[in-house]
Amino acid sequence: MTHPDEVLADLEEKRLRRPKPMGVDPATEAGIAFDSDRLGFVLQTINIEDSALVQQVCVEARDAGVTHAFVEDAYMGPNVGSFKTLVEIRTHWMLRLSDLGIEVRSVTASTWKAKMIPGVQKRAPQKEAAYNLARELGHDPDDDNQADAVCLYEFGRRVLDDEKEQ
């Protein structure tokens, strides 16, 4: 059995060599996106109630060499109850991923949307633009959570590339 310190050292070495992102759009039905040499591009919708599947996907991401997860921050809409639920779901994903040694970065929707789908202000056109961008990038999302996860993945890839150049 591998010692946890050895696993963390291996992850740190991978992180320094080649940072690899994951996009997470946290919701009751969360969208996740990451690239895996073994599995290909992973694009799924995961119900947060399926704890075993959430853990399995997080482990698969770690095993695929994911070093950074870009997780959309919760936004305060008109419904406080929904906001609180989104914060809990987001926190759940962030803890699962960070417990596996994946660096988690919280990204506001306005930040990634300004970079990935600039000039699109209203919610419905943003969803359509996210679908279109995901398709342009070669992916076929089943729902808007997957489309957003692809955009978060690509946002993360660009951020990590920019950081690597510095």
Residue 166 lies in a domain: no
Residue with tokens 């997470």: 24
Give the domain range for residue 106.
4-159
Distance CA 92, CA 54 (A): 10
Residue 15 lies in a domain: yes
Q: Provide the 3-class DSSP secondary structure of residue 55.
A: helix
Question: Which residues are CB-neighbours of 57 under 8 A, at least 6 positions away?
Answer: 32, 42, 44, 46
Distance CA 161, CA 20 (A): 10
- Alpha-helical runs (H) found in 100-143: 109-116, 123-136
Is residue 8 pLDDT above 70, yes or no? no
Residue 97 lies in a domain: yes
Residue 66 lies in a domain: yes
Residue 77 lies in a domain: yes
Residue 99 lies in a domain: yes
Average pLDDT on 74-88 reads 83
Q: Can you give the CATH number for the domain in which 124 is found?
A: 3.30.420.10
Q: What is the pLDDT of residue 1?
A: 53
Query: How sure is the predictor about 149, in pLDDT bands with cuts at 50, 70 and 90?
Result: very high
Q: What is the pLDDT of residue 128?
A: 93
Residue 142 lies in a domain: yes
Is residue 129 pLDDT above 90, yes or no? yes
| Identity of residue 73 | D
Residue 164 lies in a domain: no
Query: How sure is the predictor about 113, in pLDDT bands with cuts at 50, 70 and 90?
Result: very high
- Domain count along the chain: 1
Query: How sure is the predictor about 14, in pLDDT bands with cuts at 50, 70 and 90?
Result: low
Residue predicted with more confidence, 64 or 11: 64
